[in-house]
């Protein structure tokens, strides 16, 4: 996670961002700290990435890379305003002992558009990540990539419209069908016939921009319609208030990069 020290909305690269709406920085910091502390109280380790001045979107740490079994595919941002974030993330992984850190050739916005299930990598395209990044990720990680077309500008990243609830079994996801093209919806129905299907009000609260550890699901508190369906499936919803971060077009998942087997695990993944 990257503290929102330099978080501002000074430009608009998604429909949520309105530079005319001021960000309450102390409130953003308090909300961010609350999320970080919740992860810790649930027993998770949280590493902090040093924020860099002039990179107001750096708080959305999920976009900086994708890590699977200790292998790190760096990001290449679609917008000039965020370009310099990619290097900060790669530097962090190298400094923290990740041996296999790749600078990508094609545009991909990290976990914004890549979601890891037990067997696959789900990959969004349409607004940010290039379709060419899908082949690049498949080659790098050696796992099948399922390309999904995003069609609604409010759901410009895959992680605003789909969340993997359990990455040890393939069926456990929740998503918002209207964010996807007809063909991609059919793919999702085929792969995930028992998925939790979200409604419009929960999607627009960025309820799918959630992080699950396989049991606890941390999600925006306004997405209350998801709480009971999650409980019925055996998950424990953990509502959090990240309204200031919503002004940049992100919530829980956007501000959380998942390390998925940290440094030292590389021996395991190469064995």
Residues that bind ligand ARG (CB under 6 A): 13-14, 17, 57, 60, 62-63, 82, 112, 157, 159-160, 248-250, 253-254
d(CA 57, CA 244): 13
Answer whether 76's CB lies under 8 Å from 108's CB: yes
Measured from the CB of residue 232, what is the shortest distance to ligand ARG in angstroms? 27
d(CA 78, CA 131): 12
Considering 2, 163, 216, 254, which one is annotated as catalytic?
254
d(CA 229, CA 197): 9
Question: 215: closest CA among 161, 166, 162, 175?
Answer: 166
Which one, 5 or 99, has the nearer CB to ligand ARG?
A: 5
What token pair was written down for 87?
């290097």
Measured from the CB of residue 111, what is the shortest distance to ligand ARG in angstroms? 6
Strands 162-164 and 173-175: antiparallel
d(CA 249, CA 156): 9
Chain centre to alpha carbon of residue 225? 21
Which one, 51 or 266, has the nearer CB to ligand ARG?
A: 51
Question: Nearest to ligand ARG by Cβ — which residue?
Answer: 254
Is 163 a catalytic site residue?
A: no
Measured from the CB of residue 194, what is the shortest distance to ligand ARG in angstroms? 25
Measured from the CB of residue 264, what is the shortest distance to ligand ARG in angstroms? 27
Which one, 55 or 238, has the nearer CB to ligand ARG?
A: 55
Is 254 a catalytic site residue?
A: yes
Considering 157, 163, 215, 216, which one is annotated as catalytic?
157
Phi-psi region of 27 (alpha: psi -120 to 50; beta: other; left: phi over 0): alpha
Answer whether 121's CB lies under 8 Å from 138's CB: yes
d(CA 3, CA 255): 9
Measured from the CB of residue 159, what is the shortest distance to ligand ARG in angstroms? 5
Which one, 22 or 264, has the nearer CB to ligand ARG?
A: 22
Q: Known catalytic residues?
A: 157, 254
């Amino acid at each position: 996670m990257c503290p929102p020290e330099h978080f501002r909305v000074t430009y608009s690269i998604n429909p949520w961002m309105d530079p005319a709406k001021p960000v309450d920085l102390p409130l953003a910091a308090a909300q961010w700290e609350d999320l970080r502390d919740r992860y810790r109280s649930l027993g998770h380790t949280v590493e902090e990435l040093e924020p860099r001045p002039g990179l107001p979107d750096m708080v959305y740490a999920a976009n900086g890379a994708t890590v699977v079994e200790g292998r790190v595919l760096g990001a290449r941002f679609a917008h000039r305003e965020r370009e310099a974030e990619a290097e900060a993330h790669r530097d962090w992984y190298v400094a923290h002992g990740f041996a296999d850190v790749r600078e990508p050739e094609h545009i991909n916005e990290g976990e914004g558009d890549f979601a890891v299930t037990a067997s696959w990598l789900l990959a969004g395209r349409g607004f940010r990540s290039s379709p060419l990044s899908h082949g690049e990720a498949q080659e790098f990680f050696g796992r099948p990539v399922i390309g999904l077309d995003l069609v609604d500008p409010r759901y410009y990243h895959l992680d605003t419209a789909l969340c993997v609830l359990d990455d040890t079994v393939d069926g456990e996801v929740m998503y918002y069908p209207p964010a996807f093209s007809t063909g991609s919806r059919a793919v999702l129905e085929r792969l995930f016939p028992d998925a939790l299907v979200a409604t419009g009000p929960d999607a627009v609260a960025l309820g799918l921009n959630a992080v699950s550890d396989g049991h606890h699901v941390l999600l925006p508190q306004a997405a209350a319609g998801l709480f009971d369906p999650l409980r019925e499936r055996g998950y424990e919803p953990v509502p959090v208030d990240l309204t200031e971060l919503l002004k940049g077009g992100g919530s829980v998942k956007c501000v959380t990069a998942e390390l998925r087997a940290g440094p030292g695990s590389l021996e395991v993944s190469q064995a």
